[in-house]
Amino acid sequence: MTKARFSEEQMVKILREADDSPVAAVAKKQGVCDQTIYLWRRRFEQIETMDVRRLKALQIEYARL
């Protein structure tokens, strides 16, 4: 499996930026296509950056158990 170019936290930050600005402008600035932002939006819906960190910590803890 290939390494993702952006971390989940970065994806959420980009999505929050796209909430305030046109998606096309944000996509061009970040170097991704518009469709990628829409896919991320569907994946992360209402998740905030702190929620992603908490989710990752829980996944690590479950894997450890």
pLDDT tens readout for residues 35-52:
999 999 888 877 766 777
Q: Residues 16-35: what's their mean pLDDT?
A: 93
In contact, 30 and 22? CB cutoff 8 Å: no
Query: Residue 12's closest CA among 43, 56, 35, 54?
Result: 43
Confidence (pLDDT) at 3:
65
Confidence (pLDDT) at 46:
72
Q: For the chain, percent helix, then strand, then coil, each to nearest 5?
A: 75, 0, 25
Q: Residues 52-61: what's their mean pLDDT?
A: 83
Q: Residues 30-38: what's their mean pLDDT?
A: 94
Helix axis angle for 8-20 and 49-64, nearest 10°, is 160
pLDDT confidence bin for 65, thresholds 50/70/90: confident
Phi and psi at 29, nearest 5°, equal -65, -40
